[in-house]
Amino acid sequence: MTTPTSRPVASVQLYSLASEFSADMSGSLDKLAALGLRNVEAFAFVDRPAEIRAALDASGLASPTGHAPLLSDELWTPDGSIPTPAPEVVFEAAATIGIQTVIDPFVSPERWLTEDGVADIAERLNRAADVAATFGLSVGYHNHAQEFVADFGGQTAYERFVALTDERVQLELDLFWALTGGQNVPALVAALGDRLTAVHVKDGVVPASNPWGPDAGELSTASLDQRHAGTGEVPLADALRAGTGIKFAVIEYDRAPGDVFADIAASLAFLTEGGFVR
């Protein structure tokens, strides 16, 4: 195994505090900075880049990565769908904020069930990488669990996607959702090698069945039992140790168990006290 050259830096996905961020952008960022964070991962940033950049600057924070849809007509979330703007609009907003890598956060489950569907996803992201490069940016993909449902000759849809995307397309592995998809998470982290540049540090009780499997009902975040990093079922420590090129360890809660800022602080303590971040 290749030894990582340096530990990742800590970040937090702003979706974790979506309601708090919407109500008080500057105050929320100030609270994150007070916890010792220096990086965040932006979400739903395309329609307000100047406002977000000003608030980040005022709080002394940066957003080196950000989530925005690149591969779908609209972005699904458990709380409603968000229309998808043109890639050029996304990348211009990202450049304004200072985002370096735009990560698509969700592609609908049915598109992962066939080989043609997976090939189309990969081709679209490769094309998006071309456009992003004209803005000096890169692109990536963030998984949930639907990418691990289909199997093509012993290769998961996710593995096929990785094989079909250019090396310049970065991967952000959500460790909680990968485990929900039945993966050996540390082994998958190791297998992705330097393509894996970010992970979502998320813990909790893994759902009994894949919420995006063929017999699953509609997912609601209210049904999730997510917990502070290091107190659930996800082998976070082993996964983080298995990475060779991880730059960002991004704390995220789809459903924070309590006060979101206290919950973020607890997961940050896991990362810092365990020596997983610098």
| Residue 108 within any structural domain of the chain | yes
The pLDDT, as a whole number, for residue 56 is 98
Instruction: Tell me how far apart the 2 most distant CA atoms of the chain are, in Å.
Output: 52
- Name residues whose C-beta falls within 8 Å of residue 181's C-beta, 6 or more positions apart in sequence: 143, 144, 145, 146, 147, 148, 149, 158, 210
| Residue 17 within any structural domain of the chain | yes
Which pTM does this prediction carry?
0.94
Domain residue limits at 83: 9-273
The pLDDT, as a whole number, for residue 75 is 67
| Residue 1 within any structural domain of the chain | no
| Residue 49 within any structural domain of the chain | yes
| Residue 178 within any structural domain of the chain | yes
| Residue 200 within any structural domain of the chain | yes
Any idea what the CATH number is for the domain that residue 95 is in? Answer: 3.20.20.150
At residue 11, what is the residue type?
S
The single-letter DSSP state of residue 3 is P
Distance of CA 116 to the CA centre of its chain: 24
The pLDDT tens digits for 238-248 are 999 999 999 99
The pLDDT, as a whole number, for residue 276 is 98
Give me the residue label for tokens 């965040």: 40
In angstroms, the CA 117 to CA 110 distance is 8
The pLDDT, as a whole number, for residue 78 is 63
Asked whether the predicted pLDDT for residue 77 surpasses 70, the reply is no
The pLDDT, as a whole number, for residue 83 is 72
Which string of b and e fits 69-106 if b means at least 16 CB within 10 Å?
bbbbeebbbeeeebebeebeebbebbbebbbbbbbbbb
Give me the residue label for tokens 């329609």: 47
Alpha helix (H) residue ranges in the chain:
18-23, 25-34, 49-59, 87-97, 115-133, 157-164, 175-180, 185-192, 236-242, 260-273
> Which tokens hold the place of 173?
């592995």
Asked whether the predicted pLDDT for residue 1 surpasses 50, the reply is no
| Residue 164 within any structural domain of the chain | yes
| Residue 28 within any structural domain of the chain | yes
The pLDDT tens digits for 96-128 are 999 999 999 999 999 999 999 999 999 999 999
Domain count, the chain: 1
